[in-house]
Structure 1
Amino acid sequence: MARRKKVYEGKAKILYEGPEPGTLIQYYKDDGRAGATPPQAAVEGKGVLNNRLSEFFMSGLNSIGVPTHFIRRLNMREQLVRMAEIVPLEVVVRNFAAGELSTRLGIPEGTALPRPIVEYYFKDEKLGDPMVAEEHIIAFGWASQQDLDDIVALALRVNDFLSGVMMGIGIRLADFRLEVGRIWEGDFMRLIVADEISPDSCRLWDTRGTEAPDREGVTREPGPLADVYTELARRLGVLPSNVTHTTKPTLIN
């Protein structure tokens, strides 16, 4: 068997050249979440679960007309995906105040936001992925105004889909991050959801067995699922029967 050519390796995934032009093989590792501070140790079986979970969400988005890079799952750790030019931004959609937003604006964690808020962060680990405004993005040529309008529309459609799926299994989607890619179809360029959608990129709160929200709509004691990878896969029905976890990973900050 010929040795595959590695295209890129990150904290949680490896990309290899695909079997057909314009495709890549995306391999999910067990390593801790990319960008975690402090760095997280590997979680046995996490790559298998994230592969299945991302397949579930990406397939669901494709089925409702939201374009993604996902083509099909190849095995327990690998997917065939479309090659895309990645926009150098992390797109974060927030439904509830939590983490960095609560710290920055002094809003109590768990507060429902008046509407979903879309934020942009420049993808550069050496700089700590700083938050940027639309003016920075346009001035430095990372995306055009039309791109940003399309990115917001794409992100909000993903948010509607994910929020509905999560609420149906007793989980509140506080916030999540997306990566967006450009693909060319002839002379036409379109934006698609790239990378992955998994617990590595979401903040999830369990609504089962917690106190009821108070009259202002704020959960009194919001908290992450104890073992979010396993529990989410179990509730969605995508958990392989031979995978168990002995550690409890934390979520996006």
Structure 2
Amino acid sequence: MNRTSLYFVSIVILISLTSVFIFLVGDPEKSSISSDDQVLTVTGLIRESQNIEIQTLGSFLYRVEPSGGVLTEPLQLTFDLTGAQDRDFDVAIYWYDEEVLMWEIVSAPVDQAQESISIQRYELGLFSVREYVDINAPDFISTYDELLQMAPSDTVGYRIGVGFLSDDGSAVKVPGTTQTGGCGGVVLNGNTIEKSQLKDSARIFVNDVETEVDFIFVGLWFVNGNGGCVDELILEPTGM
């Protein structure tokens, strides 16, 4: 067999293997699935290998699976609010960060005139529609420093989440207060995660009303087990 024939055969084999791969993976198709109470609808490009499920856990409380990973294509989550239009407050979509055990606001708020609220998400998990809380948090620089002193000696990266305790006792992440860092400001993953926690309180404005608020600080330490930072580097926030 000459060189030209070998080249032609190689091209044919490559095309065949590519076709088989595409067949096995499957092209994503526009799909839609709704919760059993018809409040939440998830829409997007979903491959046949993805098993999207919605579990209704309570009023405007849902778990969308699979959780714990990042999708290659975003899904749209739409909540029907027609059953909650008698409220006298704005609402937003919240996602539960299971690492720091806090709810996080992941949408802009909408008022009672809106019949639905939607977001695009690459990451799934636990979602809820709750009253939107506009909070003006104080500067917690000293508390960050205090929490950093609690980091294990072999920490190579960290993430600090700051939340306030809502009326129902759950923690809600304060927007713009998450701090990440590592050795010399470079975040490394390590091979295990440890956790520390602090609490503080302050009198601040919540939805334009001055009130005493309890805050919770959660430090996630990415530990490598081999001594932590080297070359005289210390744990610092990224971007410094």
TM-score by length of 2: 0.28
More helix, by proportion: 1
Structure with higher RCO (Cα < 8 A, 6+ apart)? 1
